[in-house]
Amino acid sequence: MVLKKRLSNGLRGFQVPEIPRYPRSARTRVPFEKPAEDGHACAFELLASLAGKLLQEGESSTSSNVSEVKLISKEQYRSGNCDEKRSGKDVEISEADCILECISGSDNVKSEILKLESKFGNDSNTNRLVELTNNHEAGRSGFQGLSANDKFSLKDPLDLRVNSPSLVELNNNVKSPFCGELFPNASFLKHGNDNKLHFIDDDEKFVRCNKVCTKSKAFRPSRRIARKIIRKRLTSKHWKVAPKLKDYEHSRYDKGIKPASRKRKPYYNFERSQCYTLSKRKKLSEKGSMVTRGGGFSSESVSDLPKKGICGNNRSANTKTHVSKDSHVKFRIKSFRIPELYVEVPETATVGSLKRKVMEAVMTIIGGGMHVGVLVQGKKVRDDNRTLRQTGISCKENLDKLGFVLEPSSSQASPVVCAGDPSHCEASEPIMSLRTPSIESGISVAKQDSSLVTNTGDLVEINHESASSVDDTISGKLTRDSAMLVPIPDNSSEALAAIPVSHNTGHSEIVQRRTRRPFSVSEVEALVQAVEEVGTGRWRDVKLRCFENADHRTYVDLKDKWKTLVHTAKISPQQRRGQPVPQELLDRVLAAHAFWSIHQAKHHVKHQTNGVQPLVIM
């Protein structure tokens, strides 16, 4: 049983009664949760289960139980001494004590819990959570119960699913005790009178929607669907590449194409016009070193540009740079040289197929983790955070000596492209690899704005006809959506073995791992608030509430982020990594987690007929 297995990790020596799973539709959860990774029992989750159990035992007995609890230090607890007492009851109490010990240190957490309680209900179950921690502290002062700010009319959090007027009011008029205190990095934009609160994150163009979701399940936003369709379309334009020389297992291009993969996995990176990375590296060959030894870029002739930009019919491929009066650096890159490619095609292959193969190879290389290096006077500029001015790029002399290189990312395996006619794809050997030099392709890279230079992979456009749309690009006509790799149309009659990924069949599929996108503080804030309001376990609602417009955050992502947040909140600040999350947020995370855990536990308990059996020692 899964449950047993999980528990056996952290609760050594305890046997947990088997608790039946409850239907998710009831939005309930098993009160016993997975212990923390480090093997220590997870305080909140245990607390949640404890709360559930206490509930079983009746209202009155609870507080007395707590008052009897003997203090056990964290050390004792962690070292497993919690279970020195070997009677069922004692164990239970000891656990409770340990849990309380673990969380009672922070008044902030309790404060947050109180807020939640005052907002979502004051039934005895939830109050007990804070009561427990307070009792446990026995005499510690300093914590003031929250003044009743609680005009909130929501009794049952599940109400949030519907478009309840009270909720709207909550968002519009009432300052939620947990909302909006901390958006350090966000700029807010109020849009008219609607109750949407958009903000744009610093780095992400993440738009937060603070509005209430008014859509019932039956009324899913059609935009969402549209986006998915678009995604699918995009996906279908990806070319399949073989992962590995050896394992190459060509898949056929079945003319009777199966319906597009039902896989929901969208190719976000692509969508966001970033270089997409090859993932599943495990599946990729470790050999076949990346052959891209420095595709280079030469800035040949450089000349001033008209102030208005570089539009015009001039199709010159020259690289041009220019510093305008508004101190914007404008430039055009004539071409990038693609790092070495090796292409081999049968004599009978068509020119079209050759083009496609080269295209694939190029896409594969670029997608396989290529990034742009910036050179000034032949020296590489490594610090991405420096400004052009600081780097000296904007100064005229250096402007003439500005260079770019395409560089393979480290640890990228060599991509191999399958192309040629279908029969070739069945051969055991790949017909294109990246080993030996030979073909250069006309890839033009254009940046809308010099400020983008320091980012990698902003606008990369491949143009078979060699740099034809550079002008448009630079003049800003290229929209965000179109600023992506543009594969050649695949509607040619000579269907080749360049296989859209969605049609693949075998194991030779390369699945793209989405690029890592660390949550910003603003996003965390949004997430925390959403969870505070709808609770854990309703990730779709959370998504709709706060991340509906952030396509790159799926509800699974949000759930995962919450998971890590809870973990982060429980570990010591020293052990935390990455962009620090404000402690205030972490407190709220703990509080919300605890609160909603017991709420769910409560709901769970409600459906129980016989109650939870006590813990038993093996």
Partner DNA sequence: CTTAGGG
Partner DNA sequence: CCCTAAG
Report the interface residues with DNA, using CB under 7 A.
Answer: 2, 5-6, 21, 23-25, 27, 29-30, 33-34, 220, 228, 262, 264-265, 279-280, 511-517, 536-541, 552-553, 555-557, 559-561, 563-564
**Contact of 499 with 418, CB cutoff 8 Å:** yes
Minimum CB–partner distance for residue 97 and DNA (Å):
24
Residue 275 backbone phi and psi in degrees, to 5? -60, 130
Beta-carbon contacts of 477 under 8 Å, excluding residues fewer than 6 positions away, are 311
Minimum CB–partner distance for residue 579 and DNA (Å):
13
Minimum CB–partner distance for residue 170 and DNA (Å):
20
* Cα four-point dihedral sign 173, 176, 181, 185: negative
Residue 244 or 514: the one with the smaller Cβ distance to DNA is 514
Minimum CB–partner distance for residue 590 and DNA (Å):
17
Q: In which region does residue 442 sit, left (phi positive, over 0), alpha (psi from -120 to 50) or beta (all else)?
A: beta
**Contact of 112 with 120, CB cutoff 8 Å:** no
Type and span of the H or E element at 228: helix 222-236
Residue 409 or 475: the one with the smaller Cβ distance to DNA is 409
Residue 143 or 555: the one with the smaller Cβ distance to DNA is 555
Minimum CB–partner distance for residue 17 and DNA (Å):
16
Residue of 337, 299, 304 whose CA lies nearest to 318: 299
Rounded Cα gap, residues 36 and 329, in angstroms: 51
Minimum CB–partner distance for residue 66 and DNA (Å):
26
Minimum CB–partner distance for residue 539 and DNA (Å):
4
Position 172, amino acid: N
Residue 398 or 505: the one with the smaller Cβ distance to DNA is 505
HEC profile of 79-104: CCHHHHCCCHHHHHHHHHHHHHHHHC
Write the DSSP symbol of residue 295: B
Residue 401 or 552: the one with the smaller Cβ distance to DNA is 552
Residue 443 or 598: the one with the smaller Cβ distance to DNA is 598
Rounded Cα gap, residues 524 and 186, in angstroms: 12
Minimum CB–partner distance for residue 182 and DNA (Å):
21
Rounded Cα gap, residues 605 and 305, in angstroms: 72
Residue 189 or 229: the one with the smaller Cβ distance to DNA is 229
Residue 478 or 590: the one with the smaller Cβ distance to DNA is 590
Residue 25 or 491: the one with the smaller Cβ distance to DNA is 25
**Contact of 248 with 508, CB cutoff 8 Å:** yes
Minimum CB–partner distance for residue 298 and DNA (Å):
35
Minimum CB–partner distance for residue 7 and DNA (Å):
9
Beta-carbon contacts of 278 under 8 Å, excluding residues fewer than 6 positions away, are 284, 364, 367, 368, 369, 412, 413, 415, 510, 512
Minimum CB–partner distance for residue 601 and DNA (Å):
12
Residue 342 backbone phi and psi in degrees, to 5? -120, 125
Rounded Cα gap, residues 542 and 536, in angstroms: 9
Minimum CB–partner distance for residue 221 and DNA (Å):
10
Beta-carbon contacts of 294 under 8 Å, excluding residues fewer than 6 positions away, are 339, 405, 407
Rounded Cα gap, residues 179 and 307, in angstroms: 46
CB atoms within 10 A of CB 138: 11
CA 491 centroid distance within chain: 34
Residue 402 backbone phi and psi in degrees, to 5? -80, 135
Residue 458 or 541: the one with the smaller Cβ distance to DNA is 541
Beta-carbon contacts of 527 under 8 Å, excluding residues fewer than 6 positions away, are 519, 542, 546, 547, 558, 561, 562, 565
Position 204, amino acid: E
Residue 130 or 209: the one with the smaller Cβ distance to DNA is 209
